[in-house]
Amino acid sequence: MEDTRTHKLVLYNDDTHDFLYVIACLVRYCQHEPLQAEQCALITNNTGKCTVKSGNFLEMFEIKTELESLELLTEIEAYESYMH
């Protein structure tokens, strides 16, 4: 089975939005389960960033656009598979 993930979407801590807001955004736009979204929000808060989604570039760009319209800081990076 071929891995189609080419890029990842990274969420950065902005010290502006509260946890509930970030969690709600991740549930809605990244299709996270609430627990997964909460964990990503905590990781982002504690380390400054967290990979919240991976897939092809177009998918990541669409989600990035939505999250940035909600004033969340994100960046698309090349996805490096651990299966070489």
Q: Do 67 and 57 touch, CB atoms closer than 8 A?
A: no
Helical spans, DSSP H, in 1-84: 19-30, 34-47, 57-69
Residue 51 resides in a domain: yes
Residue 48 in any domain: the answer is: yes
Amino acid at 71: E
In a domain, 1, yes or no: no
- Mean pLDDT in runs of 10 for the chain (84 residues)? 82 93 97 98 96 96 97 93 50
DSSP per residue, 7-20: EEEEEE--SSS-HH
User: Given this model, what pLDDT does residue 4 score?
Assistant: 77
* CATH number of the domain that residue 37 is part of: 3.30.1390.10
Domain assignment present for residue 84? The answer is no
Burial class (CB in 10 A: 0-12, 13-18, 19+), 41: buried
Name the residue range of residue 74's domain.
7-78
Count of structural domains, the chain? 1
| Residue 41 lies inside a defined structural domain of this protein | yes
Would residue 83 count as lying in a domain?
A: no
Q: What pLDDT score does 79 carry?
A: 81
Q: How far apart are CA 8 and CA 55, in angstroms?
A: 6
Residue 11 lies inside a defined structural domain of this protein? yes
Q: Is residue 30 part of a domain?
A: yes
